Structure 1
Amino acid sequence: MATSYHEAPWHLVSSLDRADSIELMEAVLAGGVEREQVFRDNWRTLSAQVCFQNQSLLLKVPRARNGRRWERLLTLFRGSDSVRSFHHLEQMAEMGFEVPRAVLACERRQGGFITDSFLCYRFVEGRRAGPQDAPAVLDALRSLHQLGYLRTDAQIANFLITGDSVVFIDFRLKKPWFLPALQKARELDRFLRSCPDARNSLTEKEASSKWLRLARWLEDLSFGIRRLKRRFRDQRKKRTPR
């Protein structure tokens, strides 16, 4: 059960006791946690496997989200991305899905805005899902959709396989209110794009769904607009004198 602590200027949400929570927070802030493996370290995200009290954790620092002005503005009315992700992990576990165990989320406010945050959860030993796992991953995704939720970013790479279990990673829960059938179909289409072999595991109803056809058209349109924007940006850079 998560508990909230306040250690000025930080707010902590943790499954650890207060002393261990503060010790882990201070170790992260001071760079005192040993990085066993770094998965990403750029302006957008720090994602690294770290060791704390002989336990492997995954440390995530959403640098881009912490720094975007409009995201900071939204934090006047809600918690940080890290704290929300902590609660999403808890919620998924309560619904019976396999997810990493949330350990600690920390956020710091200045002038009412979130300016810094990070998340730690248990590191899961497993392998990335591949095309051979498409039927099991599809079943897990369908189960989530049946409960009325999206997982966001439903790429095959964002699922792990441990034994016979499908583990959800790198997700944020979303409950669609407007045209939920279409939004679920769009998420399914994105998953199929990341794993074309999964089309062989669709049910007849899914394969012939009008929602899925519409979703595919909308996703094609969305990708086309992105390509045009990228092309215009590239052309603008070429025209700009150095």
Structure 2
Amino acid sequence: MSFSINDGSWYLVSNLDEATSYELFDAVVRGQIRREQVFRDNWRTLSAQVRFRDDALQLKVSRARNNRRWERLLTRFRGSDAVRSFRHLERMSSMGFSAPEPVLAGEQRRAGFVTDSFVCYHYVDGRPAGPEDVPAVLEALRKLHRQGYLRTDAQIANFLIAGDSVVFIDFRLKKPWFLPALQKARELDRFLRSCPDARDALTEKEVSSRWLRVARWLEDLSFGIRRLKRRFREPRKTRNS
């Protein structure tokens, strides 16, 4: 069971004892934690496998979210992305799904707004899901939908296979309130776009679903609008270069 710590401008949630929590926190914020493998390190995100004592952990810092002005404004009324990720990982476990075990998350506030945050969770030694794993991944996604949740960013790349388990990674839980059947169908359509072979694993009910057809049309429209926006941006970049 996790507990929380308020320490000056930092708020921590942890599954460690208090002394160990502070030790890990200090190593992260001082940049003294050993990085064993860096997956991404840019203006948007720091994602790295790190070593703390004898444990392999995943460290994630959402830099873009911490720096966007409108996202900072939202944190006046809700927790940081890091703390919410910690809670989502806990919730997944409580619902019987496989997901990384959260270790520590922290958020720093100034004048009530989050300005910095991070989350650490146990590194999962699994392999990326492939086409041969589609039936199991689809069933895990269906099970989540039946419990009333979306996972967001439902690409096949965001699932790992560890033993016989389908592990959810890089997700945020969302409970759809408006037209939940359509929102679940849109998430399913996005998964199918990331792995077209998955269409062969759909049930007859899913193949004939009106919601899935509407979702496909909406996703086509969404992607078309994004392409148009990129085309309009390109001439501006050319003129400014």
Q: Name the TM tier (shorter chain).
A: over 0.9
State the 1:52 CA deviation: 0.4
The aligned counterpart of 1:129 is: 129
Name the amino acid aligned to 2:21.
Answer: S
**Which residue matches 1:156?**
156
SS at match of 1:149: coil
Q: CA deviation at 1:207?
A: 0.7
What amino acid is aligned across from residue 131 of structure 2 in structure 1?
A: P
RMSD: 0.7
Tell me the CA shift for residue 190 of structure 1: 0.2
Q: Which residue of 2 aligns with 1:209?
A: 209
Give CA-to-partner distance per residue, 1:23-64, whole Å, 9 cap, x none: 001001111111010000010000000000110000000000
One-letter amino acid of the structure 2 residue matched with residue 2 of structure 1: S
- Give the structure 1 partner of residue 114 of structure 2: 114
Letter in 1 for 2:152: T
TM-score w.r.t. length of structure 1: 0.98
CA distance in 2, matches of 1:54, 1:148: 37
Show CA shifts across 1:149-189 (max 9, x none): 00000000000001111000000000000000000000000
Aligned match of 1:188: 188
Q: Does 1:15 align with 2:4?
A: no
Question: Identity, % of aligned pairs?
Answer: 73
Amino acid at match of 1:174: K
Farther off after superposition, 216-225 or 2-11: 2-11
1:93 — aligned with what? 93
Tell me by how many angstroms 1:239 deviates.
2.7
Shift of 1:235: 1.1
CA distance in 1, matches of 2:231, 2:102: 41
Q: Which residue identity is paired with 1:108?
A: Q
Q: Distance in 2 between matches of 1:233 and 1:108?
A: 35
Q: Aligned letter for 1:11?
A: Y
Q: Aligned pairs, how many?
A: 241
Q: 2:218, 2:106 → 1: CA distance?
A: 37
Structure 1 residue 196: Cα displacement: 0.6
Shift of 1:6: 1.4
Summarize the alignment of residues 14-163 of structure 1 with structure 2, pairs less than 5 Å apart.
14-163=14-163
SS at match of 2:73: helix
Alpha-carbon offset, residue 237 of structure 1: 1.6
User: 1:231 offset after TM fit, Å?
Assistant: 0.5
The structural deviation recorded for 1:105 is: 0.4
Matches within 5 A, 1:1-12: 1-12=1-12
SS in 1 for 2:225: helix
Matched AA of 1:28: V
Give 5+ residue unaligned stretches, structure 1: none
After TM superposition, give the deviation of residue 84 of structure 1 in Å: 0.3
- Between 4-13 and 166-175, report the one with greater CA deviation: 4-13
Q: Distance in 2 between matches of 1:236 and 1:27?
A: 43
User: Which structure 1 residue ranges, 4+ long, deviate > 6 Å from structure 2?
Assistant: none
